[in-house]
A and B are shown apart, each in its own frame.
Chain A
Amino acid sequence: MFKAVKLTRVTIQCPEEQISPVMAVLGNMRLLHLIRIEETHLGKLGYVAQVDRKLLDHYDSLLSRTNRLIDGLSPTQPMPSITKIPRPDREIFRLKEVITRIEEKALPVLEKREKTWQEIARDQALLDRLKLLEPAELDFDRLGPLKYATWMTGLIPEENLDRLEESLSDVYHALIPVFRKAGKVVLFAMSLRDDEDVLHRALKSAFWDPIELPGDLKGTIYEVTRRTSKALEGLRIKLSELDQQRKVLGERYGAQLLETREIILLCSQLLRAQKKFGAIDHTYIITGWLPFDLFNELKKRIIEATRGKALIDRVDPEHIREVRAGILKIPILFNNPLLIRPFERLTTLYGTPSYKEVEPTVFLAISFLVLFGMMFGDVGQGALLFATGYYVFRKMFRFMDYGVILMECGVSSMIFGLLYGSVFGFEDLIPALWMHPMRHIDHFMKVSILLGISIISLGFLLNLINLLRQKRYGDLFSASGLAGALFYWLLAGLGIRYIFSENVSPAEILFAKVSAISLFIIMLFQKPVRRLFFHLRKGDKRHRLPKGIGITLFESLIEVLDDILRYMANTVSFVRVAAFGLTHVALFMAVFSLADMVRTAQGQGLSYWLIIVAGNLVIILLEGMVVSIQTLRLEYYEFFSRFFRGGGKPFRPLLGEKAG
């Protein structure tokens, strides 16, 4: 929980013909972070495996066939979850058969439906055009056989009609406006067949938008409209029958299709992962990071799957030269309990911890909830936050983590609400188990400062652990190391003593002075002294002192003063916890004052309660947002900055993201 899962580097060697079962095992185990062979010395020598392009093409084509069926049948079944990954090279045969069988049943229905759709669209478009021309009462039996005249139907912008009329003034013509629609005129244009070109040119230059009609129309426009409407009705009935058949097919084959698609996607992803493998002649080499505890299980499964034809080996990170040299980074696999896990998002928002760092999510989660609750303590509002979080958790899959965080914040808010005795701002419904913030402002401030000192001290402790784990012993004497921590605790202890007893003895002051000066000297000189040692170890005889030692000393002084000032500022910064807690109460007071004014004027009716409800909602939205931001700010700037360097690499398990 406090550190990332222990990983080991696994290397698998297997003959070419065994790569498929090995991939299936890796796919099933899932928790392997592949190392791109190109990044290793083997890859740099060119021993990189090729993706089985032929097999992948088969999968791609199968995927497009499956997607076509899924789009056509629109299955409503839930997404299946694939627990066992098959061998891609064998599975393709079964998948092909499944899809071909479903295609035989479904494609005729889908194709018929598509064709019917097209016919409906065509007839509907014709009907729309005929509707535009209906007022012209055209008779196609009389217009069709015209030998010496030509006619056209279409629309032109209304303002062009006069110019069109003038442009045709030299030829026999008729322009009959049928009706006007959205700045355009539906026009029936006619001229002698000899002047057809003139008519065409004139219409074209008047921005003619032709209404195309099929050449084989018979009867009057009303008859054609009636016939088309009837045909359309028939087509719609046919479509609904086909829809019914489609639904039945969807119910029968939907689950199978969805499962098939998932398997295809997983197999394709496995095949694509091959480019991360190495290959020497006919032997494949797979290397990656695996949780240490899973190694034996993986080894057993691979030996079983390949009938002992694969070699599997592991090396712990501390024995890898590239890791020691810092060239190769070990990925971080978080290992937090269910309720803490959503806070990993907030940790990674700041940075990914490195393998040798303390994994801070659990500390972040606890301190976040305490700070949030202190600033937003109210039983009623906490319950509302919890309910909102639950809704997000259940209904919005993508934001599930934030739903959990919201629920936990709600619980924290409710607990502090009980401690403050506040329910939707009413402070007389339940007794305060601890205090009413507005009545104990001084106490609240002191508690906030104490909380700040605790969180910063925790930051110091975590930093000391990090320094020891990373073997940066020299930094223990720095202002951010043990010396700095002792200095801070000394001053904090003195401050606490003064705040609570208001009586500090001269002996205590003398002890503090001596200790503080000693620690200050250690912090000030640690850097120049370390530089001097380094210089002496190098054995440069020409200069007694390294160049720029004065500047180093000056830098060191500035750094130490800066660090000490920051510790003080960071501690004072926690006063905001009390400040925002009080703001929360003050906002309630404002809402109640407003409600009381309404009550005085109109009595305790609907308006009074409306103001209470609206006020509560505004406080939840406004104050909730502000408090979240402030909490996060305290976590990142006051707490994380003490010990968290980040720069780690997240663990990306094989098949973590779907292909295609």
Chain B
Amino acid sequence: MLLLAARYSFANAKVRALRARRLTPEDFHFLIQARDLSGFFAYLATTSYQDILSGKNIGGGTSIKSIERSLYAPLFKEYRKIAKALKNPGSRQVILALYSRFEAENLKIILRSIVLGKNRSLVSHLLYPLGSLTRLPWDDLWNCKDPAGLAKVLRGSVFGLAIRHALPQFEAQGRTFPIEVALDLAAFRWLAEATSRLSGKRDKNEARNVLGRYVDILNCLWITRLRLHFNMSPEEIVNYSLPGGMDITLKRLHLLAKSKTTSEFVENIPETMAKKLTMVREWSDFRPAFTSLLLRLLRKVLASFPFHIGVEAGYLLEKELEVQALIATMESKKQKIAPKDIARHVPMELLGEVAHV
């Protein structure tokens, strides 16, 4: 334990300091209650997100989509700070692997723009502002003419081989979907490998507790998404599932993919998770329910034994969920949805009980 304390004390202090800047339930309350989008931004400018809004012509030249992406900028700054605070290479690898999910997202945008022949300037507002932590040669990637070129430039990174393996199906199907899935799988495979390579049993177990459960939840959400939006068969869903889960085995995943109704789906979910999902009746309600589930797990981790990588990873995931909730609120404001309806889509864990309002 002393060893773990020595390894994580600085990073842990950093996380505590950063966490103090997160949005409070009161912040979310006022953001949801804002009269319109400009009111929303006026309040947001009083929070830790104020730096993002400075210099942006909101409602003028700057599009909402590009503001959405820039809301992620603090998250990536914190990725960098935490990665820097971690001196142990194994622990840092876990954070970098977690970060690589966003690199995969940007790679997908480049891939689509290459295949559709779109100019860089047309899609650059869709890119995540990854900051200085990324080591991928982005300018070279933009100069690629086809996915094979991307694979060549990415040779040596986890994504190069993934794209190369997906190329035959990209050519056979004539769409970017196989490569996009391969990029996601590559990032999560790296995460699983980095977790399993951690030294120390406790560190590894705590990391699996956070990241393995996170992957389980994502897999459940993917199943609903692939079924509802992509109309995929169970055998396809199983093959597209993310590696590195904890409680959900391949067999259980297959059962979940075959579930015809929401109740059947809940029945096939492991007991520890299912207890919190018994109220779900609609497929679309799974998302907020799983998000709440994840947030509760993260809160628990952040409040317990502090010296393990699960704290750093957990904090970054919590921050990511905060940004997602913020974006959902902003989008709802843009569509002029009533505050009480917005509140239904923001996890209760973020809203809390604001007594004085």
- Whether A168 contacts B235 in the complex (CB less than 8 A), given A163-B250, A208-B169, A209-B168, comes out as yes
Q: Does A160 contact B (CB under 8 A)?
A: yes
Which chain A residues (180-213) contact chain B, with CB distance < 8 Å? 183-184, 198, 201-202, 204-210
Q: Give bound CA distance, A209 to B238, whole Å.
A: 18
Write out the residue numbers on chain A whose beta carbons fall within 8 Å of the beta carbon of B253. Answer: 166
Write out the residue numbers on chain B whose beta carbons fall within 8 Å of the beta carbon of A496. Answer: none
Q: Does B173 contact A (CB under 8 A)?
A: yes
Closest to A204 in B: B169
Question: A160 and B239: CB pair below 8 A?
Answer: yes
Q: Give bound CA distance, A103 to B224, whole Å.
A: 65
Question: A183 and B254: CB pair below 8 A?
Answer: no
Which chain B residues (161-198) contact chain A, with CB distance < 8 Å? 161, 165-166, 168-169, 172-173, 178, 182, 189
Question: B236 and A207: CB pair below 8 A?
Answer: no
Question: A202 and B239: CB pair below 8 A?
Answer: yes
- Whether A167 contacts B168 in the complex (CB less than 8 A), given A159-B189, A160-B239, A162-B250, comes out as no
Q: Which single member of B235, B250, B258 contacts A205 (CB below 8 Å)?
A: B235
Question: B243 and A159: CB pair below 8 A?
Answer: yes
Write out the residue numbers on chain B whose beta carbons fall within 8 Å of the beta carbon of A5. Answer: none
Among B182, B235, B254, B258, which residue has the most Cβ atoms of chain A within 10 A? B235
Closest to B241 in A: A163
Closest to B169 in A: A207
Among A160, A162, A207, which residue has the most Cβ atoms of chain B within 10 A? A207
Question: A202 and B235: CB pair below 8 A?
Answer: yes
Write out the residue numbers on chain A whose beta carbons fall within 8 Å of the beta carbon of B240. Answer: 205
Which chain B residues (233-250) contact chain A, with CB distance < 8 Å? 233-236, 238-241, 243, 250
Q: Does B340 contact A (CB under 8 A)?
A: no
Q: Give bound CA distance, A204 to B170, whole Å.
A: 10
Smallest beta-carbon distance B129→chain A, Å: 31
Closest to B249 in A: A166
Q: Does A546 contact B (CB under 8 A)?
A: no
Smallest beta-carbon distance A557→chain B, Å: 50
Smallest beta-carbon distance A207→chain B, Å: 5
Smallest beta-carbon distance A602→chain B, Å: 46
Closest to A197 in B: B233
Question: B235 and A201: CB pair below 8 A?
Answer: yes
Which chain B residues (209-236) contact chain A, with CB distance < 8 Å? 232-236
Which chain B residues (149-169) contact chain A, with CB distance < 8 Å? 161, 165-166, 168-169
Question: A206 and B239: CB pair below 8 A?
Answer: yes
Q: Give bound CA distance, A385 to B210, whole Å.
A: 70
Q: Which single member of A169, A184, A205, A210 contacts B239 (CB below 8 Å)?
A: A205
Write out the residue numbers on chain B whose beta carbons fall within 8 Å of the beta carbon of A72. Answer: none
Q: Give bound CA distance, A160 to B258, whole Å.
A: 20
Q: Does B251 contact A (CB under 8 A)?
A: yes
Question: A207 and B250: CB pair below 8 A?
Answer: no
Write out the residue numbers on chain B whose beta carbons fall within 8 Å of the beta carbon of A166. Answer: 238, 250-251, 253-254
Question: A205 and B166: CB pair below 8 A?
Answer: no
Q: Give bound CA distance, A78 to B258, whole Å.
A: 73
Q: Does A164 contact B (CB under 8 A)?
A: yes
What is the size, in residues, of chain A's interface with B at 8 Å between Cβ atoms? 23
Q: Give bound CA distance, A166 to B178, whole Å.
A: 19
Question: B254 and A169: CB pair below 8 A?
Answer: yes
Which chain B residues (74-100) contact chain A, with CB distance < 8 Å? none
Write out the residue numbers on chain A whose beta carbons fall within 8 Å of the beta carbon of B178. Answer: 207
Among B161, B169, B182, which residue has the most Cβ atoms of chain A within 10 A? B169
Question: B161 and A183: CB pair below 8 A?
Answer: yes
Write out the residue numbers on chain A whose beta carbons fall within 8 Å of the beta carbon of B251. Answer: 166, 169
Write out the residue numbers on chain B whose beta carbons fall within 8 Å of the beta carbon of A204. Answer: 169, 172-173, 236
Q: Does A646 contact B (CB under 8 A)?
A: no
Question: A201 and B161: CB pair below 8 A?
Answer: no
Smallest beta-carbon distance B68→chain A, Å: 30
Question: A198 and B235: CB pair below 8 A?
Answer: yes
Question: B236 and A184: CB pair below 8 A?
Answer: no
- Whether A202 contacts B166 in the complex (CB less than 8 A), given A166-B254, A167-B254, comes out as no
Q: Give bound CA distance, A246 to B240, whole Å.
A: 54
- Whether A201 contacts B250 in the complex (CB less than 8 A), given A166-B238, A208-B169, comes out as no
Q: Mark A155-175, 1 if CB is under 8 A from B, else 0.
A: 001011011101111100000
Question: A210 and B168: CB pair below 8 A?
Answer: yes
Write out the residue numbers on chain B whose beta carbons fall within 8 Å of the beta carbon of A160. Answer: 239
Write out the residue numbers on chain A whose beta carbons fall within 8 Å of the beta carbon of B232. Answer: 205
Write out the residue numbers on chain A whose beta carbons fall within 8 Å of the beta carbon of B165. Answer: 157, 183-184, 207, 209
Question: A167 and B236: CB pair below 8 A?
Answer: yes
Question: B236 and A201: CB pair below 8 A?
Answer: yes
Q: Mark A90-113, 1 if CB is under 8 A from B, else 0.
A: 000000000000000000000000
Which chain B residues (248-271) contact chain A, with CB distance < 8 Å? 250-251, 253-254, 258
Write out the residue numbers on chain B whose beta carbons fall within 8 Å of the beta carbon of A163. Answer: 238-239, 241, 250
Smallest beta-carbon distance A231→chain B, Å: 27
Write out the residue numbers on chain A whose beta carbons fall within 8 Å of the beta carbon of B243. Answer: 159
Smallest beta-carbon distance B222→chain A, Å: 12
Write out the residue numbers on chain B whose beta carbons fall within 8 Å of the beta carbon of A209. Answer: 165, 168-169
Write out the residue numbers on chain A whose beta carbons fall within 8 Å of the beta carbon of B241. Answer: 163
- Whether A205 contacts B168 in the complex (CB less than 8 A), given A159-B189, A163-B241, A169-B254, comes out as no
Q: Mark A335-362, 1 if CB is under 8 A from B, else 0.
A: 0000000000000000000000000000
Closest to B253 in A: A166
Smallest beta-carbon distance B162→chain A, Å: 8
Q: Give bound CA distance, A182 to B234, whole Å.
A: 29
Q: Give bound CA distance, A9 to B236, whole Å.
A: 79
Write out the residue numbers on chain A whose beta carbons fall within 8 Å of the beta carbon of B168. Answer: 207-210
Question: A164 and B254: CB pair below 8 A?
Answer: no
Q: Give bound CA distance, A169 to B233, whole Å.
A: 13
Smallest beta-carbon distance B256→chain A, Å: 12
Closest to B165 in A: A157
Write out the residue numbers on chain A whose beta carbons fall within 8 Å of the beta carbon of B258. Answer: 170
Q: Give bound CA distance, A159 to B158, whole Å.
A: 14
Q: Give bound CA distance, A417 to B258, whole Å.
A: 92
Write out the residue numbers on chain B whose beta carbons fall within 8 Å of the beta carbon of A183. Answer: 161, 165
Write out the residue numbers on chain A whose beta carbons fall within 8 Å of the beta carbon of B236. Answer: 167, 201-202, 204-205
Among B166, B236, B241, which residue has the most Cβ atoms of chain A within 10 A? B236
Closest to B240 in A: A205
Write out the residue numbers on chain A whose beta carbons fall within 8 Å of the beta carbon of B173. Answer: 204
Write out the residue numbers on chain A whose beta carbons fall within 8 Å of the beta carbon of B238. Answer: 163, 166-167, 202, 205
Write out the residue numbers on chain B whose beta carbons fall within 8 Å of the beta carbon of A167. Answer: 234-236, 238-239, 254
Which chain A residues (325-339) contact chain B, with CB distance < 8 Å? none
Q: Give bound CA distance, A160 to B240, whole Å.
A: 9
Closest to A155 in B: B168
Write out the residue numbers on chain B whose beta carbons fall within 8 Å of the beta carbon of A169. Answer: 251, 254
Q: Please, could you name 13 A-B residue pairs with CB atoms under 8 Å apart, sorted by A?
A: A159-B243, A166-B238, A166-B251, A166-B253, A167-B238, A170-B254, A183-B161, A183-B165, A201-B235, A204-B169, A207-B165, A207-B178, A209-B165
Pairs A-B, 10 closest by C-beta atoms? A205-B239, A209-B168, A167-B238, A167-B235, A205-B236, A202-B235, A166-B250, A157-B165, A206-B239, A207-B165
List 12 additional contacts besides A167-B235, A168-B235, A201-B235; criterion CB under 8 Å. A157-B165, A159-B189, A163-B241, A163-B250, A167-B238, A198-B235, A204-B169, A204-B172, A205-B232, A206-B239, A207-B182, A208-B168
